[in-house]
Every structure is written in C-alpha cells, then in structure tokens.
C-alpha cells in the first residue's frame, strides 16, 4: 500500500508538502492513516524548535498532522544507489512503528530535495484509504502570469519579481534580489570567489550549473535536441533560439511598440531606444556611445577594420558572428526559413517574412505623407525622402555625409574602412 500525507510547516520550512510512503507491513483496519492533532499537541520537533504558528493542512489535500514521538526512522529512495543525503522522520507517521521505504529507489533525501526527486521518478502515487494522490503537476500558479511551480515558496519568490519586492541587498553595491541565494551568487562577482572548477581545464565558475555546462564543451555532450531537425545543443536557450528559425516565432515583444524579437537581449536593447537609458559604453575613436559593451566593440571594429569571424569556405570575414553564418549559407545552400504558403525557402528570416507578405497582401509600412504602403521599411523611407521631404536621415559614422537609405550609407562607409586597413 502506498500512502501520501500533507504536513504543515514544521520541518525544514516547507509547507503543505506531500510525501508518498510504502509501509513495510500492511495497515490493519483499526489503524488510522493519519491522526489529527491540534497545534498545542505538537511537541518535540525534529529541529528542536517550537514554531510560532502551525499552518492547518488544506482541505483539498489529506487533512491531518504528524504525531511527533521522538523515535526517528530514516527514509530511503531506491531509484538511485548512492547518496549522502539523509532525512530523519518520526516513526509514528500513520501510527506505524516500522520504517518506510520507497519501492524502487535507494537515495535518502532531505525534505527540500525529497519532493523534487519523487516528481522526477513517479508519475502518480495514491493513498488507497484517503483517495488522494501525489502527481508531477505544478500546483502553485503565479497570480500575475501563466507560470506555475511545484513548490509554494518558489511560486512566492517568483511573484516578488512582479511586485518589485527585493528584500536581500548586496553588501557591495546597490543591487537587491528577491531570493537570498541570488544575492549571495551576485556578491561573488564582487569578491571574485568561483568555487566550481572545471575538471578538464583551469576555468572556474560562480554557479555549479555554469561549470557543468562548460564541461560539456570538453566532452562534446549536447543533450538538448532540436524538435524539428537533427541539431543538438548544450544550452536550452541556444536550442530555443535555433527552433525559432523553424517556427518563425518572435516570442519577445517590446513593451513600448509592436516590434518583436527572436532573442531577449535584442528586445531589451531595442527597448532602451524608448526609455532613453544611459549609454555608458563610449567608443574610444569617436563620440558615439552605446547601451551594451558588445555593441560598442562591434562599432569600434568599424574604425580598426578588424573582422574576427572568417568564412570557412572563402576569404571573406565579418565583424559579427551571425553575419558570417548567414554568408556561409551561400556556400552550403542552407535555407532554413520556409514560406508557409509556397515551396520557397530563404537563408534569412526577414527575407522569408517579407516574401510571405506578397501572399497575404500585408503592407505594414505606411507613408506619413500619402496613402502609399510598403512591405519593406527601407522602401517606405526611400519613398518619403525622395517624393516628399528630400531628407537624408542616414549619416556616415566617419564623416559629415548623409544618405537617403541605410544601404547607401553602408556602401559609402566601406570606403572609409578600406582606407583604414590599407594605411
């Protein structure tokens, strides 16, 4: 027989946690599955402290409390063979005086780790008497968004990000955080402490997950496979960004306008154009400044002529990695972006989207001065400047000249970078 029960918050600070157990002997008919006790009857807690208050179990889960007796039994998980994690529980759970074991698992767990482990290994565990069950469902839902969680305290910590409550402050700077461990991890960036060392090289990391992910670059392991093709990835975010190439999805939308982006960093960078956030990264060759360090570096390469990303198939090189990848598709013939309406495919996502507008008739870019509309933003701006304003909005970053189109500006700027290279 398998049992599950819900206990209040008096073990390691976890509230309403459901734990399944299998007794070593069957319960008799006279045994009660869980004895109810008032908060006044709860004595001799495992950690030796009396709680300020005891939370009553929820009605939709099994009601009851643990009668704490002082005799302790150890609970083992038999899914895995080796672990140094152990937990002590009172032997009087469900009025039984014998120890409990999980059927096919050999790890002993702390309460904090216990529920997570069972969620990963058991789909559903039911108590035959109480007709309650423990599943891998995320029961705790955020009241502000669609996210849900296995644990109540994780849900509450997430909700703090919505209301802006960040009680844990860094002792070295002005930053604050909703969780204590996030604050401690951040403080390591000040102290230089990197406790997790790669077993293959000299690198070390602040986070264990960062170290494990890095070690995969040594072993060649890529556990995350694309759902649409044969490619695999080390990082979940890398896979997500890649799959967008197949789906055409742009999941990150600007909070201030209708634009959406494939990557969250592109969206954040764009939003700064609305908020007018400071641009702390200044070019060492001219007066321009940028909101991100990488954008500043990319710009400075236009001054120095440096192009670190070289094509594997020809002599061309590029300032940006993604520009190099797009160029290499000319050689490989790869066209990952497919039209939803016909058989055509494209090497660039933007080109595919604009082609699809020929099918839908959509023309999102409207002239500010007449009724004309265009598929291409560039075509709209060129129309406005040539037919209406005579404006030349695109300025060269190296001299005083300006141009009607961005492409004309880029073509002109190449004459500057070529001169810098051959000086």
pLDDT tens by residue, 306-354: 888 899 999 999 888 888 988 999 999 988 888 888 889 888 888 888 8
Tell me if 305 is assigned to some domain: no
Tell me if 69 is assigned to some domain: yes
SS3 364: coil
Contact 313, 307 (CB under 8 A): no
The 10s digit of each residue's pLDDT in 365-400 is: 888 889 888 888 878 878 888 888 887 878 888 888
Tell me if 409 is assigned to some domain: yes
DSSP 343: S
Of the pLDDT bands very low, low, confident and very high (cuts 50, 70, 90), residue 71 is: very low
Contact 140, 153 (CB under 8 A): no
Q: What's the confidence (pLDDT) of residue 388?
A: 85
Structure tokens at 67: 């009668």
- Neighbouring-strand partners of residue 378: none
Q: What's the confidence (pLDDT) of residue 151?
A: 86
Distances (CA, A) of 136 to 115, 140, 269: 10, 12, 37
Contact 196, 204 (CB under 8 A): yes
Q: Which of 96, 123, 115, 191 is nearest to 154 (CA)?
A: 115
Classify residue 62 by burial, with Cβ atoms within 10 Å: 0-12, 13-18, 19+.
buried
Q: Which of 108, 167, 130 is nearest to 27 (CA)?
A: 130
Tell me if 391 is assigned to some domain: yes
pLDDT at 21 over 80: no
What's the structural domain count of the chain? 2
Tell me if 281 is assigned to some domain: no
Taking residues 148-161, report their average pLDDT. 86
Distances (CA, A) of 41 to 37, 45, 69, 244, 283: 6, 11, 11, 57, 70
For the ranges 77-91, 119-133, 163-177, the maximum mean pLDDT occurs at 163-177
The CATH number of the domain where 413 resides is what?
3.30.160.60
Taking residues 189-198, report their average pLDDT. 90
Where is pLDDT greater, at 262 or 155? 155
Angstrom distance (rounded) from CA 104 to CA 347: 51
Q: End of a domain among 122, 137, 152?
A: 137
pLDDT at 16 over 70: no
pLDDT at 197 over 90: yes
SS3 297: helix
What range does the domain containing 417 cover? Answer: 365-421
pLDDT at 70 over 60: no
Q: What's the confidence (pLDDT) of residue 265?
A: 77
Contact 170, 180 (CB under 8 A): no
Q: How many CB atoms lie within 10 A of CB 247?
A: 10
Where is pLDDT greater, at 75 or 65? 75
Where is pLDDT greater, at 82 or 410? 410
**Distance, C-alpha 266 to centroid of its chain:** 15
Where is pLDDT greater, at 377 or 105? 377
Q: Which of 178, 118, 183 is nearest to 153 (CA)?
A: 178
pLDDT at 243 over 50: yes
Q: What's the confidence (pLDDT) of residue 365?
A: 84
Q: How many CB atoms lie within 10 A of CB 385?
A: 17
Q: What's the confidence (pLDDT) of residue 53?
A: 43
DSSP string, 145-186: SS-EESSHHHHHHHHHHHHT---EE-SSSS-EESSHHHHHHH
Tell me if 19 is assigned to some domain: yes
Q: End of a domain among 113, 137, 161?
A: 137
Tell me if 75 is assigned to some domain: yes
What share of the chain in percent tops pLDDT 90? 7
pTM beyond 0.75: the answer is: no
Q: Which of 106, 105, 112 is nearest to 84 (CA)?
A: 106
pLDDT at 128 over 80: no
Contact 94, 33 (CB under 8 A): yes
Q: End of a domain among 87, 119, 137?
A: 137
Angstrom distance (rounded) from CA 150 to CA 154: 8
Q: Which of 151, 105, 131, 91 is nearest to 3 (CA)?
A: 131
Where is pLDDT greater, at 215 or 245? 215
Rg of the chain over Cα atoms, rounded to whole angstroms, equals: 30
The mean of the pLDDT values for the chain is 70
Contact 225, 214 (CB under 8 A): no
The 10s digit of each residue's pLDDT in 34-63 is: 333 333 333 433 344 444 444 433 443 333
Tell me if 271 is assigned to some domain: no
Q: What is the dihedral sign for C-alpha 314, 319, 320, 321?
A: positive
Classify residue 70 by burial, with Cβ atoms within 10 Å: 0-12, 13-18, 19+.
exposed
For the ranges 7-11, 207-211, 291-295, 417-421, the maximum mean pLDDT occurs at 207-211
- Neighbouring-strand partners of residue 148: 141
Q: What's the confidence (pLDDT) of residue 313?
A: 92
């Amino acid at each position: 027989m398998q049992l599950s029960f819900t206990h209040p918050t008096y073990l390691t600070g976890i509230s309403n946690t459901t734990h399944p157990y299998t007794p070593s002997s069957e319960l008799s008919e006279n045994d009660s599955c869980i004895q109810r006790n008032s908060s006044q009857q709860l004595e001799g807690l495992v950690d030796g402290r009396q709680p300020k208050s005891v939370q009553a179990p929820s009605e939709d889960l099994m009601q009851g409390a643990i009668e704490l007796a002082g005799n302790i039994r150890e609970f083992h998980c038999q899914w895995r063979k080796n672990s140094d994690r152990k937990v002590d529980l009172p032997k009087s759970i469900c009025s039984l005086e014998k120890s409990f074991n999980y059927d096919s698992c050999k790890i002993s767990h702390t309460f904090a780790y216990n529920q997570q482990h069972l969620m990963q290994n058991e789909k559903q565990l039911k108590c035959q008497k109480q007709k309650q069950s423990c599943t891998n469902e995320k029961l705790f839902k955020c009241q502000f968004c669609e996210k849900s969680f296995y644990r109540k305290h994780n849900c509450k910590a997430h909700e703090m990000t919505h209301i802006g409550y960040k009680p844990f402050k860094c002792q070295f700077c002005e930053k604050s955080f909703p969780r204590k461990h996030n604050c401690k991890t951040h403080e390591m960036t000040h102290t230089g402490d990197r406790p997790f060392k790669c077993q293959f090289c000299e690198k070390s990391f602040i986070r264990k997950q960062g170290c494990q992910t890095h070690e995969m670059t040594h072993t060649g392991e890529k556990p995350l496979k694309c759902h649409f093709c044969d490619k695999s990835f080390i990082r979940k975010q890398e896979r997500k960004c890649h799959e967008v190439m197949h789906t055409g999805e742009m999941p990150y939308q600007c909070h201030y306008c209708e634009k959406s982006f494939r990557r969250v960093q592109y969206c954040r960078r764009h939003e700064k154009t609305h908020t007018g956030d400071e641009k702390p990264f200044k070019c060492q060759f001219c007066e321009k400044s940028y909101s991100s360090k990488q954008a500043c570096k990319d710009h400075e390469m236009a001054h120095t002529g440096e192009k670190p990303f070289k094509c594997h198939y020809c002599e061309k090189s590029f300032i940006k990695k993604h520009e190099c990848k797009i160029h290499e598709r000319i050689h490989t013939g790869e066209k990952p972006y497919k039209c939803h309406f016909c058989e055509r495919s494209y090497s660039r996502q933007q080109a595919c989207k604009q082609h699809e507008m020929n099918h839908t008739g959509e023309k999102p870019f409207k002239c500010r001065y007449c009724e004309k509309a265009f598929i291409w933003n560039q075509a709209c701006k060129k129309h406005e400047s040539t037919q209406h304003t005579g404006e030349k909005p695109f300025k060269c970053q190296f001299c005083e000249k300006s141009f009607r189109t961005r492409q004309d500006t880029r073509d002109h700027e190449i004459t500057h970078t070529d001169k810098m290279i051959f000086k």
